[in-house]
Amino acid sequence: MCLFSLCKKFFGHKLQELGFSCKTAQLDCDIIALNCQKKIIFLFTALGQILKERCDVNVSNPFSQITPEIARLAELCEANGAIDPTLYKKYDVKRGLRDLDGQGVLTGLTKISDIVAFKIVDGKRVPCEGKLYYRGIDIEEIVAGFIKENRFGYEEVAYLLMFGELPNAQELENFCRIIANYRSLPTNFVRDIILKAPSQDMMNTLARSVLTMYAYDDYADDISLPNVLRQLLQLLALFPLLCVYGYQAYCHYHDKKSLYIHVPKPELSTAENFLHILRPDSQYTELEAKILDLALVLHAEHGGGNNSTFTTHVVTSSGTDTYSTIAAAIGSLKGPRHGGANIKVVQMVEDLKQNVSDWTNEAQVADYLIRILEKKAFDRTGLIYGMGHAVYSLSDPRAKILKSFVEKLSKEKNRMEEYQLYTLVERLAPQIISERRSIYKGVSANVDFYSGFVYNMLDLPLQLYTPIFAIARIAGWAAHRLEELANPSKIIRPAYKAVSDVRPYIPLDQR
């Protein structure tokens, strides 16, 4: 394939996506008479001008440019990186570390949490209502406990996950005091690290900040249990500050908004402090704080096999430091297949509202959902976001718990019509999916289905949806890092079978 064809292959589809069909047609006419080198120069010049005019993309930044040489090398990557899909079955490869039925391959043992989605009946696995246990205690009981006592629950859950026991009143008070004392960044950290190079992605900001904290720690590489515990508690305390301050910096320098850097209050819970430092006036209602706290509790842990927690185990097993380990977990959670699904739910429902005239009309809503599955609506992936889960089948207990509080917030925010739309989609989608799937294991709403709506009602920016997930999940990551260190073993190293042909080395002048 010639270099010019490569350019058209790699960039032509992007022009089509952006609606440049007429311009690309004219482009073809204009460049027919040019030689190959001039064609390439002409194509890239025109492409750059079009993107600059229509997409506000700074194509003059050499750091971000895809040159013709890179395009050619990418073609080699694609050509020589593809593996025959039939070989995975031939060699019984557990792709994604899952069996053919979707069950995860057993790679470790944990006492931290348990996910139940099936029960054994007459020797067969039968789907059941989903259950989630933190240290052996049903999450529904945990939530009911602190709600009944009118308390915030995240700090209690963090203690339970990390130390394996429910704290008594004095232990919980001491733990909250430790967290409050650690909720202060090193001197000039905000000025020197967060404000000087604000990123458009808050997960990148969070990972960078965590890695930079290594330089402020005199015992950064000490992986003794007491030192690692100290580091993890500090990170748990600081995650809300790192996320919110990073967001404030971005809004100030990129969107020209006023800069607000509020100092956390030691008497406030994690959820309260998050709202306090995020909002310009630091004001929030009790219901807002309680529901955000509930969301943190429900996202705090979900087994050792989820991508970011397994990453924590893998990286910890290498013997590296806490900051590198947690930064790796953040990188995993940033991925849209893991931590960004609730954003997609909100965007999908917004698109539905734009394309369905009557939100209460079941037929219209069902037709929209069918068009999504047929890749004719929304992002055309064929996915109804917020529906289904890798493990759960009949129900996700986290979604059930969260939904019971969403209605209260919807009433307070005067958004009951939208809440009813969400419940309608939740009711219709499983049936529509079951009618159109060749293999159907049962689908229900997962926790992402309602969490995005909750954050939207709390007026939280989209950029902070996944960081809030990280603020919650640091408790689970911490527990699993401590568990991995408490049970030292070999470095985690699964096998990959080579399927390339053996061939001789060819001297440079003969290639």
pLDDT tens digits for range 230-287: 999 999 999 999 999 999 999 999 999 999 999 999 999 999 999 999 999 999 999 9
Q: What is the pLDDT of residue 32?
A: 40
Nearest to 388 by CA among 331, 319, 441, 453: 441
Mean pLDDT confidence for 331-357: 93
Residues annotated catalytic, as ranges: 389, 448
Query: Angle between the 286-299 and 447-457 helix axes, to the nearest 10 degrees?
Result: 150
**SS3 state at 490:** coil
pLDDT confidence bin for 44, thresholds 50/70/90 = low
Longest dimension (CA), the chain: 82
Which of the pair, 198 or 53, is modelled with greater confidence? Answer: 198
What are the helix (H) ranges across 91-149? 139-148
Q: What is the pLDDT of residues 108-157, one digit of tens each?
A: 999 999 999 888 888 888 888 999 999 999 999 999 999 999 999 999 99
Q: What is the pLDDT of residue 126?
A: 84
Residue 331 CA to residue 210 CA, distance in Å, equals 11
Q: What is the pLDDT of residues 350-387, one digit of tens each?
A: 999 999 999 999 999 999 999 999 999 999 999 999 99
Q: What is the pLDDT of residues 152-192, one digit of tens each?
A: 999 999 999 999 999 999 999 999 999 999 999 999 999 99
Residue 381 has which token pair?
Answer: 């992936």
- For tokens 């930044």, the residue is 61
Q: What is the pLDDT of residue 43?
A: 54
pLDDT confidence bin for 48, thresholds 50/70/90 = low
pLDDT confidence bin for 331, thresholds 50/70/90 = very high
Handedness of CA 469, 470, 472, 477 (dihedral sign): positive
Residue 14 CA to residue 471 CA, distance in Å, equals 35
Angle made by CA atoms 485, 488, 493, in degrees to the nearest 5: 105
What are the helix (H) ranges across 335-361? 341-355
Give the length of the chain. Answer: 511
pLDDT confidence bin for 431, thresholds 50/70/90 = very high
Q: What is the pLDDT of residues 51-92, one digit of tens each?
A: 444 444 455 788 899 999 999 999 999 999 999 999 999 999
The answer to whether the beta carbons of residues 116 and 130 sit under 8 Å apart is yes
Which of the pair, 70 or 29, is modelled with greater confidence? Answer: 70
Nearest to 463 by CA among 184, 204, 185, 191: 204
Which of the pair, 61 or 345, is modelled with greater confidence? Answer: 345
Q: What is the pLDDT of residues 445-499, one digit of tens each?
A: 999 999 999 999 999 999 999 999 999 999 999 999 999 999 988 999 999 999 9
Angle made by CA atoms 65, 68, 69, in degrees to the nearest 5: 100
- Neighbouring CB atoms inside 10 A of 414's CB total 9
Domain boundaries, the chain: 3-81, 130-335+474-486, 341-457
Antiparallel, parallel or unpaired: β 124-134 and 113-121: antiparallel
Q: Does domain 341-457 have CATH number 3.40.50.1980?
A: no
Nearest to 22 by CA among 56, 58, 46: 46
The answer to whether the beta carbons of residues 484 and 312 sit under 8 Å apart is yes
**What residues contact residue 496 under an 8 Å CB cut-off, 6+ apart?**
none
Query: Angle between the 465-486 and 322-334 helix axes, to the nearest 10 degrees?
Result: 140
Residue 19 has which token pair?
Answer: 């609606």
Task: Count Cβ atoms within 10 A of the Cβ of residue 207 and give its class: 0-12 exposed, 13-18 middle, 19 or more buried.
Answer: buried
Task: Count Cβ atoms within 10 A of the Cβ of residue 424 and give its class: 0-12 exposed, 13-18 middle, 19 or more buried.
Answer: middle
Residue 475 CA to residue 497 CA, distance in Å, equals 35
What kind of fold does domain 130-335+474-486 have according to CATH? Answer: Citrate Synthase; domain 1 (1.10.580)
Residue 153 has which token pair?
Answer: 């629950």
**SS3 state at 150:** coil
The answer to whether the beta carbons of residues 154 and 300 sit under 8 Å apart is yes
Q: What is the pLDDT of residue 18?
A: 41
How far is residue 492 from each of residues 28, 311, 330, measured CA to CA in Å? 52, 10, 19
Residue 38 predicted with pLDDT over 90 = no
Determine phi and psi for 345, rounding to 5 degrees.
-60, -50
In DSSP terms, 132 is beta-bridged to: 115
The answer to whether the beta carbons of residues 135 and 113 sit under 8 Å apart is yes
Angle made by CA atoms 76, 82, 88, in degrees to the nearest 5: 165
pLDDT confidence bin for 440, thresholds 50/70/90 = low
Residue 379 has which token pair?
Answer: 């992002």
Residue 477 CA to residue 311 CA, distance in Å, equals 9
**SS3 state at 358:** coil
Give 3-state DSSP helix, strand, coil % of the chain, rounded to 5.
60, 5, 35
Residue 28 predicted with pLDDT over 60 = no
CA 20 to chain centre: 32
Residue 239 CA to residue 470 CA, distance in Å, equals 8
Q: What is the pLDDT of residue 21?
A: 41
Q: What is the pLDDT of residue 54?
A: 44
